[in-house]
Amino acid sequence: MEFIKFIQVGGFFMYPIMLVFFAGMAIFFERLYALGKARARSREIWSKVQPDVQAGRLETAFSAVKDDTSEAGRILDYGLGAAASGADMPHVEGALEEGLLEVIPRLEARTSYIATLANVATLLGLLGTVHGLILAFASVANADPAQKGDLLSAALAVSMNTTAFGLGAAIPLVLAFTFLQNYTQQVIESLEMIAMKVQNSIRRTFPTLTN
């Protein structure tokens, strides 16, 4: 009840701030799920193909990933496809790098929107503050002296509530953005590690490909 009253007192700008907050958190949870899925899938697919890669069975490893649409699957598809076709090591490395360049934007998608929405929430709070101050001055300009105090208090409540709500929405969004940035980097590093393991395994098994 207190929260509902807080929203009602804050006026119109409370609703756009609330909408911005929920939009940002929806993106956060969607990205959190996608990144968690990508990380789990990278471990799963690497554990599946690692024995074949280390044993030099590149065609078998390639056939296991060629239809996989996950981030790790795409990277291994590029790299193992090149290796299975007999390409030399520089071409294999280039193929793995190409796979990384393809999937990284997918991992980073929409994360930057959360920072933007945090800024929008703050600005909406400030706009609500200005709106409340305008109402405050307008309400007391031609009001009866006995009513000026009540009118001024109501208008200032609009200002303070929108400011507090804007900041209250922005702070969790900033934290969510920072967390996602770090988590995304961890997932990217895990994919880079898989690419590096593939390269090292191929070098050890097929030393002639390095030339």
Is pLDDT above 90 for 202?
Answer: no
| Tens-place pLDDT, residues 160-199 | 788 888 999 999 999 999 999 999 999 999 999 989 988 8
| Tens-place pLDDT, residues 85-127 | 877 888 888 999 999 999 999 999 999 999 999 999 999 988 8
Is pLDDT above 70 for 33?
Answer: yes
Is pLDDT above 70 for 38?
Answer: yes
Query: In this structure, is residue 188 part of a structural domain?
Result: yes
Q: How many separate domains does the chain show?
A: 1
Residues spanned by the domain of 169:
11-204
- pLDDT-wise least confident of 19-28, 150-159, 185-194: 150-159
Query: In this structure, is residue 210 part of a structural domain?
Result: no
pTM: predicted TM-score of the whole model, two decimal places: 0.83
Query: In this structure, is residue 100 part of a structural domain?
Result: yes
CB of 40 within 8 A of CB of 72? no
- Map tokens 């390095």 to a residue: 210
Give the residue-averaged pLDDT of 12-20: 89
Residue 26 confidence (pLDDT): 96
CB of 59 within 8 A of CB of 84? yes
Pairwise CA distance, residues 209 & 75, whole Å: 19
CA 118 to chain centroid, in Å, comes to 13
Query: In this structure, is residue 149 part of a structural domain?
Result: yes
Residue 53 confidence (pLDDT): 84
Pairwise CA distance, residues 177 & 54, whole Å: 38
Token pair of 132 as six digits: 């409340």
- DSSP-derived secondary structure letter, 69: -
Residue 45 to residues 41, 84, 182, 205: CA-CA distances in angstroms?
6, 18, 23, 20
Pairwise CA distance, residues 182 & 188, whole Å: 10
Query: In this structure, is residue 50 part of a structural domain?
Result: yes
Query: In this structure, is residue 15 part of a structural domain?
Result: yes
CB of 119 within 8 A of CB of 169? no
Query: In this structure, is residue 5 part of a structural domain?
Result: no
Is pLDDT above 90 for 31?
Answer: yes
| 20 CB burial (10 A radius; 0-12, 13-18, 19+) | buried
Token pair of 125 as six digits: 């709070």
Contacts of 64 (CB under 8 A, 6+ apart): 45, 48, 49, 52
Is pLDDT above 80 for 52?
Answer: yes
Q: Quick one: which of 34, 46, 173 has its CA closest to 108?
A: 34
